[in-house]
Structure 1
Amino acid sequence: MGAVATGTPTGRQTVRLPAEVTSFVGRRHEAAEVKRMLSASRLVTLTGVGGVGKTRLALRVADEARRAFPDGVWLAELAELDNPTLLAQGVTEALQIRDHSSRPAMDILVDHLRDRQALIVLDNCEHLLEDCARLADRLLRAAPRLRLLATSRQALGTAGEQSLAVPTLGLPDPDGPRPSLAALARWDGVRLFVERAAAIVPGFELSEDNRDAVELICRRLDGIPLGIELAVVRLRALSVQQLLDRLDDRFRLLTTGSRTVLPRHRTLRALIDWSYELCTERERLLWARASVFAGSLDLEAAEAVCSGEGIDRGEILDLVAELVDKSVLLREEHPTAVRYRMLDTLRSYGRERLAESGEETVRVRRHRDYYRGLAADARAALFGPAQVQWFTRLHLEHANLRTALENCLAEPEQTECGLDMAADLLYHWITSYYLGEGRRWLDQALALCTEPDGSRARALWTNSWLAVIQSDVDAATAMLEESRSLGTRLGLEPVLAYAALYSGMVAMYRGETRSAIALYEEAVARHRATGDPVGLALALIRLSLAHSFIGDSPGAIAHGEESLEVCDAYGEGWHRAYTMMALGVDVWRQGDTVRAAALEKESLTFNRSLDDPLGVGVNLEVLAWIAATEQDHSRAARLLGVLATLWHAIGAPHSGYGHLARYHEECQAAARGALGKPAFNAAYRQGARLSLAEALEYALEDELPSGEAAVGEQPSPLTPRESEIAQLVAQGLSNKEIASSLVIAQRTAEGHIEHILSKLGFTSRAQVAVWVAEQHRDTEADDERPPEDTA
């Protein structure tokens, strides 16, 4: 019953960019230039020193250009990714592509993007420069409508790349005339200082009294946004003049560094040095120790990893608060807890300090041990009311879990701990984005840990489930045979129980239903004997589906109801949702469509809350079959349209449930026969255009989104005259030629084109031409066959 998360939502544009939490200051010229470059080149790289604002500019441009990319605008943050072999996997995760197959991540990524008109922001490429260059080259060759916007300390160096060196924020010419107060306030560096200062000191304004000090501070910091923001934080304790004095004293000592290093690099380093030295001794210790975390951390993790030897556990909370105040740690709100993130520049600096202190090895091991324990705790709490909270927490901690696994497998004496940890994370791998990565960790750990013991036996059956979900049944079979052999030799009853369970899944996949039932019954008996409710529920769900498949409804219902009893006794939700799905299948087969729909919708509601796309997919399948049985063929066709995109995004239709494919085929044939080809295609494509959220609301409430037009009837954002001019632009006519053709003034034609660009969110005539072609393609598609069936 595995799952990975949903790919790009079906149909409407998706924008996956973080919200701006502070005002965006300046950069109008740079933003316009980047848009121009993106219209001319499919790869644009923003270069510059750390802290200059490359990421912020890239995100602003991406957000403003989003209407030009109907298939989505996405951010792939690479700063946390230290292993180049996981680059393609990291981008796949950022795009929320969930593929159960065993194909390489790069192949999955290429296949997903091949026909999409999308923009991906690759952020912080400098530490993976060559790998990012290869990835960009491969994607751009395979996906002709894709655009990439990268940020890096240096250009990627690939063919066709355009780069823009992001300058520091503008300041007046020190040798020019003294600007007025109003003119000074318009310079971007000064504007940033004043806006951030007003947030720190209520009522702060640029005045004749402080203008010189403000300008000099910004100049000492070379207009580097990060430098200005870090300095402004000190206004909590210092006046503007005191801040300037301290900057002068500090920077005068730091101007004799290597001449081969750009002054701005030395300035930012000096600023971070200064910020570090302004911290108390314990704050410095926490800064350095917190640098071992990847991504973000919570208070509990900080207490476990960073305390001791100079910091009492009880001091961590106050120290974290101080580092948040000093902008060393950034506070992040999450539904279940507050987390803290360190800018990569500051984290790298802290890691250097940690290495200098001689503590790095100790803190890395404490980090590893903490997350090893977290994985074990999550496994122990798997079956119960805290299940969803644990799934959510592991998702937030994924970067740290990955780092801990890397550290385990890097030390020969810790590899078995890494093997156990990867196995403990089974449900993390199958309920989020990481199934393929989980299998790679288990494969790697199994290759390192060859001792024929219980840890290896457990890891083998764990990995076999991931292989079954990926339809790699030959690999699953080999692992299960070895696991069963070890379980028999060592007398490990739990191993034999799970080996029987997953062997039953393999048999079901191969169409050997009677053999599968026998194996599931063996698993039920063994799990009852060992008192394992997780394995028992899983085996009962599979038995219910298998009995339903052979037409034994009483057996299917009995096993499903027993599974519900087991789940309810423990307050468990995820296995319960899958049990209701299985019961819904048999109730539908019996003809009780009303009860079947209720069961599937209840299951779908839970799977949606957990963001489990495989569970969602099977629920939508059954709801489509129910609609066809009730003669609501338009609804069935729309749901099939949703599923076509969803299964393609997941990459492994009916993963682990392949025997249900025949019901999908029967449903599609019935709907097409009842509606006729044109009406079926129209409804099918209408469903395929829905976003995932809209599709789930439709599945649950049976109402299409308000304003949803029939296929081919979506209103154009352009007026009839603008549409006419857009057609001429697409034909390559100049403004003068358009004016002559329509017998209007050239200025009037230019005005219409400006309105067209504004309405569509475009920056070039080439984008208008692409948009016009897309409109023609979508209109013509209504009479074509639906997308290739993926059942």
Structure 2
Amino acid sequence: MSGFRHAPAELSSFVGRVEELAAVGAAVASGRVLTLTGPGGCGKTRLAMRLCQAAAGEWPDGVFWVGLEQETDGGQIGHRMAAALDVLLPTGLDPVAVLAAALRERELLVVLDNCEHVLDDAAGVVAAVLAACPRVAVVATSRSRLGVPGERVWPVPPMSLADALELFLERVDSPPAASPADDTAARAAGSQARRICDRLDRLPLALELAAGWAGALSLTQIADSLSAPFDLLDGGTRTTPFRQRTLQASMTWSHDLLDDDERVLFRRAGVFEPGFTADAVARLAELGGPGRGRLLKALRGLIDKSLVVADTTGAVARYRMLGVVRAYALDRLAEAQEDTAARDLHLDLHVSLLEGLAPLLETGKDAWRAQVGAAYPNVRAAIEWGLSRPDTARARRLAADCAWLWHLEGRGAEGVALLRRAAALGAGERGPLQARVLAALAFVLNTTEPGMEAFEVARAARELARAAGAPETARPAGPLIAIGLLATGLPEALAEARAVRDEAVQAGDGFVADCAEAFVALVHVLGDDHRQAIACFEPVVERLLRRGDRGVASFALGWWALAAARSGTLERAAELAGRAVATAEPLRDLHWTGSARVVLAEIRILQGRLQEAAAALEPMERLFDAAGRLPFITGWERTQAMLALGHDRPREAVEWCWQEVRWQDEPDAAWLAPDTQIVLAAALRRSGEEASAARVLDVLARSPVTGRMPRVRAGVLDEQALLAHESDPERALRLHHEALRIRVEHDLVFDRVASLEALALLNLRRGAVEAAGVLAGAAGRARADLGAAPRPLPSADGEDGETLRTAAERGRAMDLDAAVAYATRARGPRRRPGSGWESLTPAERSVAGLAAEGLSNPEIAARLFVSRGTVKTHLAHVYAKLQVANRTELARATSARDGEDATRTG
């Protein structure tokens, strides 16, 4: 990835400095920092830019520019560097440690421009990176040295007289004549130009300022008028302090020559952080004085006089002042006692800007993100100013409007901090604005800080908005509330999501409607209704992507991929998971990218492509290793455990599963996600800890969650059967077939293969070699058909081995449906008792338990994701097998059985 990346636009030609470029280029070295020092306006930045252009082909991993002029918080330097170098930074981890680890093997050059106002933080970042990255070189520009060990300081000298003359004459568009010796006027012009260059200490910015007046003054007039403000400087040595005073005096001279309108605009424009538009300039007319037309004319004059730089390379021209010029302008603004009024107007301007851009949130978030991102330094400054004022309402409104940028661009920590301040300042209010602020805080918290706070804040936002008679204000909190209800149960979460979706559709709120619809699809996945989930995901993902809702779209793509995998289309699942990763990565956010990579890794594991699974996780692992801490990413620990099992490292898998509840003082398996509990049980079984595995499964089997998630219920049965292979093969056979029945009933296509493989192994142990071979062969074909790598046949010796191989060939001729039918026929007669508790199927037990708790048939149907008719049929079977007549007798029988179980356990 060689080349010069994030290069700022060069808006004027670069003149001279040949010897300096050669010297600086020779001084740049891997593992070292070279600091270009000197006063503002001496040409540090332009010299560094030209150095980067010359060196772009010499660094295999590229040359990267990191501008710090707009950075007000030194703690964000690591984040700025990470963004420039495409390094993902996890929220809550040490950004410098992560950055250093990510660059350890890379060979590149980084330029940190304008370090002086964040000097200590810049020095800390540079020292940490260079200590860990021997092939990284750093060039810094600053008014003073960083103070880093091994730093090489290169004071940028004044331009040579020849270079200074060339720069000045080029800027005045008056090159010297070809034969100056024969031209008296040319000799005179050259003489005056030399006077100007010497008077201005040959400082590039001072020369640019003087050249800006060549259209209004002759060179002689410029040279003469420069004398007065510089007389006191004559006789001083040309040290840095002298040059700083030179630049100050040159700006004073240039400022004093401005007309009244230009002086007004000059000081007022200082309120803008680097980067503003002509429309913003026109709004300054609201402060009184020159009108819009006169201010725009004055802007042209300031550009001509090099006090404002115009960047016309983008779709909309943007303007900025160099840092040293802006500092001078702000002094003049304070001197005129206009700073408070100007900053208030600056705040109003950016409130209006975000309000005007709000429709793009529905039609094109990428466009919204680009425009707000370009204005963000000003937006952030406006929020901070407004939160410090007696009336904070405007700033709080602006902070709420900015939530999407913090959500989309990995700026969550900064957004949470500002929104928490805004919420605290409005804590006593009960109106719509406070509801908006809380809803925005919940939204940004959801992808920034794990835990329940986001859902609690979302609920508070909605309650406040409804009480204030403004339900639309907190509508975006609805999907977060639905997510929080997952801890209560799938039916509750599903009902909430549908209500939120229907309200949003009626209100024309496309984003909230799509978020809620994506969550409805997720609940269908959790309830193993994958056909319905896929039908929901496909249209909603396209709408989210069209709008630019990358985060929610990547989330939906990941769950769509899991639904596809469980439905048996692994190649399609892998494609969707890859799209989820590609959709999330531009957001540079750990939450979205990490979650998408976990899904991709899980699908690769299901395919048997373990190296590709590890590769999907590896970028995240590097970050966590560097930070020395594992942040929260849903499914991370379980996927690592699955990968360890795939490599036959069950003890490692056990350790990974327990990491999921590492924050608990006394970890309890019941707090693990249901899928993780099944993986833990498998890992314990394969580690020889069968009693521990049985305890985990027993707890999970009694959990209400298991009754609502058929895939989990089948997984528990399968693992319980595997534990019983040696001790009770008949019971194992019943459990495996019950698991297979559930998987067929709920269209869990890929899991049926696991059932066939488990039955093949059990049949081999029972001596049913032919049936084992047929099932193993059929499972192998099914894996290939579904896009997964085949597994080796179970081993058998002698004649049994030959029988096994021959039968496997027969099995390979079967499709999955035929293989399932064969497995059912080969089972033989059921040996479940005809009556009593042991005669109940797992589905009947679930229905009986919920009926005994007092749930109605519709409530049981919603809880178990089955029809009411199915509940009625199961209850009829339960009554017949237990010889009870109604729910009251069933409750008594259940209570008596629980008492007997407790006595036996005691």
Same fold, judged at TM 0.5 (above): yes
Alignment pair present for 1:430 and 2:420: no
- Match 1:535 to one of 504, 512, 533: 512
Stretch deviating more after TM superposition (248-257 or 429-438): 248-257
Query: 1:367 Cα shift?
Result: 0.2
The DSSP-based 3-state class of the residue aligned with 1:56 is: helix
1:583-636, CA deviations, whole angstroms, 9 ceiling, x for partnerless residues?
Answer: 566456556689879988999998899999987887888889899999999999
- Looking at structure 2, the residues matched to 467 and 239 of structure 1 have their Cα atoms a distance apart, in angstroms, of 61
Tell whether the 8 Å contact from 1:99 to 1:649 is kept in structure 2 after alignment: no
Query: 1:45 Cα shift?
Result: 1.9
Residue type of the alignment partner of 2:440: T
- Looking at structure 2, the residues matched to 402 and 300 of structure 1 have their Cα atoms a distance apart, in angstroms, of 19
1:660-697, CA deviations, whole angstroms, 9 ceiling, x for partnerless residues?
Answer: 98599789969999699xxxxxxxxxxxxxxxxxxxxx
Question: Could you tell me which residue of structure 2 aligns to residue 147 of structure 1?
Answer: 137
Question: Could you tell me which residue of structure 2 aligns to residue 192 of structure 1?
Answer: 167
Query: 1:133 Cα shift?
Result: 3.4
- Looking at structure 1, the residues matched to 99 and 434 of structure 2 have their Cα atoms a distance apart, in angstroms, of 32
Query: 1:74 Cα shift?
Result: 2.6
Q: Alpha carbons of 1:128 and 1:578: their partners in 2 closer, same or farther (altered >3 Å)?
A: closer
Alignment of 1:120-135 (within 5 A): 120-135=110-125
1:73-93, CA deviations, whole angstroms, 9 ceiling, x for partnerless residues?
Answer: 332322223344544444444
Alignment pair present for 1:267 and 2:242: no
Question: Could you tell me which residue of structure 2 aligns to residue 51 of structure 1?
Answer: 41
- Match 1:357 to one of 319, 336, 348: 336
Question: Could you tell me which residue of structure 2 aligns to residue 318 of structure 1?
Answer: 297
Q: Alpha carbons of 1:323 and 1:34: their partners in 2 closer, same or farther (altered >3 Å)?
A: same
Alignment of 1:263-662 (within 5 A): 263-384=242-363, 386-414=364-392, 416-451=393-428, 453=430, 454-470=432-448, 472-480=450-458, 482-483=460-461, 486=464, 493-494=471-472, 497-506=475-484, 516-528=493-505, 531-560=508-537, 563=540, 586=563, 590=567, 658=635
Residue type of the alignment partner of 1:58: A
Residue type of the alignment partner of 2:404: Y
Residue type of the alignment partner of 1:243: I
Tell whether the 8 Å contact from 1:288 to 1:350 is kept in structure 2 after alignment: yes
Query: 1:279 Cα shift?
Result: 2.1
- Looking at structure 1, the residues matched to 626 and 459 of structure 2 have their Cα atoms a distance apart, in angstroms, of 32
Residue type of the alignment partner of 2:165: V
Alignment of 1:217-236 (within 5 A): 217-236=196-215
Q: Alpha carbons of 1:444 and 1:387: their partners in 2 closer, same or farther (altered >3 Å)?
A: same
Tell whether the 8 Å contact from 1:93 to 1:433 is kept in structure 2 after alignment: no
Residue type of the alignment partner of 1:426: A
The DSSP-based 3-state class of the residue aligned with 2:361 is: coil
Question: Could you tell me which residue of structure 2 aligns to residue 30 of structure 1?
Answer: 20
Unaligned 5+ segments in structure 1 are: 1-10, 172-186, 677-791
Query: 1:434 Cα shift?
Result: 1.9
Query: 1:63 Cα shift?
Result: 4.0
Question: Could you tell me which residue of structure 1 aligns to residue 70 of structure 2?
Answer: 80
1:720-750, CA deviations, whole angstroms, 9 ceiling, x for partnerless residues?
Answer: xxxxxxxxxxxxxxxxxxxxxxxxxxxxxxx
Query: 1:417 Cα shift?
Result: 3.3
Query: 1:251 Cα shift?
Result: 3.8
- Looking at structure 2, the residues matched to 259 and 23 of structure 1 have their Cα atoms a distance apart, in angstroms, of 26
Q: Alpha carbons of 1:659 and 1:129: their partners in 2 closer, same or farther (altered >3 Å)?
A: closer
Tell whether the 8 Å contact from 2:102 to 2:622 is kept in structure 1 after alignment: no
Question: Could you tell me which residue of structure 2 aligns to residue 755 of structure 1?
Answer: none
Query: 1:197 Cα shift?
Result: 4.0
Stretch deviating more after TM superposition (401-410 or 520-529): 520-529
Residue type of the alignment partner of 1:190: L
Alignment of 1:761-780 (within 5 A): none
Query: 1:350 Cα shift?
Result: 0.9
1:353-375, CA deviations, whole angstroms, 9 ceiling, x for partnerless residues?
Answer: 11111111100110012112323
The DSSP-based 3-state class of the residue aligned with 1:539 is: helix
Q: Alpha carbons of 1:292 and 1:669: their partners in 2 closer, same or farther (altered >3 Å)?
A: farther
Stretch deviating more after TM superposition (121-130 or 99-108): 99-108
The DSSP-based 3-state class of the residue aligned with 1:155 is: coil
- Looking at structure 1, the residues matched to 156 and 62 of structure 2 have their Cα atoms a distance apart, in angstroms, of 25
Max radius of gyration: which structure?
2
Instruction: Tell me the percent identity.
Output: 29
Question: Could you tell me which residue of structure 2 aligns to residue 214 of structure 1?
Answer: 193
Q: Alpha carbons of 1:314 and 1:620: their partners in 2 closer, same or farther (altered >3 Å)?
A: farther
Residue type of the alignment partner of 1:27: R
Unaligned 5+ segments in structure 2 are: 648-785, 792-906
- Looking at structure 2, the residues matched to 608 and 636 of structure 1 have their Cα atoms a distance apart, in angstroms, of 17
Query: 1:292 Cα shift?
Result: 0.2
TM-score between both structures, scaled by the size of structure 2: 0.61
Question: Could you tell me which residue of structure 2 aligns to residue 102 of structure 1?
Answer: 92
- Looking at structure 2, the residues matched to 674 and 293 of structure 1 have their Cα atoms a distance apart, in angstroms, of 60
- Looking at structure 2, the residues matched to 231 and 311 of structure 1 have their Cα atoms a distance apart, in angstroms, of 25
**RMSD of aligned Cα (Å):** 4.8
Tell whether the 8 Å contact from 1:101 to 1:652 is kept in structure 2 after alignment: no
- Match 2:29 to one of 15, 36, 39: 39
- Match 1:18 to one of 8, 28, 42: 8
The DSSP-based 3-state class of the residue aligned with 1:235 is: coil
Question: Could you tell me which residue of structure 2 aligns to residue 723 of structure 1?
Answer: none
Q: Alpha carbons of 1:388 and 1:342: their partners in 2 closer, same or farther (altered >3 Å)?
A: same
Q: Alpha carbons of 1:117 and 1:602: their partners in 2 closer, same or farther (altered >3 Å)?
A: closer
- Looking at structure 2, the residues matched to 633 and 312 of structure 1 have their Cα atoms a distance apart, in angstroms, of 68
Query: 1:129 Cα shift?
Result: 3.0
Stretch deviating more after TM superposition (71-80 or 107-116): 107-116
The DSSP-based 3-state class of the residue aligned with 1:327 is: coil
Stretch deviating more after TM superposition (320-329 or 483-492): 483-492
Question: Could you tell me which residue of structure 2 aligns to residue 729 of structure 1?
Answer: none
Q: Alpha carbons of 1:497 and 1:338: their partners in 2 closer, same or farther (altered >3 Å)?
A: closer
Stretch deviating more after TM superposition (59-68 or 632-641): 632-641
1:313-332, CA deviations, whole angstroms, 9 ceiling, x for partnerless residues?
Answer: 23333222222222222111
Query: 1:567 Cα shift?
Result: 6.9
The DSSP-based 3-state class of the residue aligned with 1:102 is: coil
Q: Alpha carbons of 1:111 and 1:456: their partners in 2 closer, same or farther (altered >3 Å)?
A: farther
Tell whether the 8 Å contact from 2:397 to 2:433 is kept in structure 1 after alignment: yes
- Looking at structure 2, the residues matched to 599 and 40 of structure 1 have their Cα atoms a distance apart, in angstroms, of 41
Tell whether the 8 Å contact from 2:101 to 2:622 is kept in structure 1 after alignment: no
The DSSP-based 3-state class of the residue aligned with 1:501 is: helix
Tell whether the 8 Å contact from 2:37 to 2:153 is kept in structure 1 after alignment: yes
Q: Alpha carbons of 1:25 and 1:669: their partners in 2 closer, same or farther (altered >3 Å)?
A: farther
Query: 1:547 Cα shift?
Result: 1.8
- Looking at structure 2, the residues matched to 553 and 199 of structure 1 have their Cα atoms a distance apart, in angstroms, of 75
The DSSP-based 3-state class of the residue aligned with 2:42 is: coil
Query: 1:139 Cα shift?
Result: 4.1
Stretch deviating more after TM superposition (281-290 or 375-384): 375-384
Residue type of the alignment partner of 2:426: C
TM-score between both structures, scaled by the size of structure 1: 0.69
Task: Work out the number of aligned pairs and report it.
Answer: 648
Tell whether the 8 Å contact from 2:396 to 2:422 is kept in structure 1 after alignment: yes
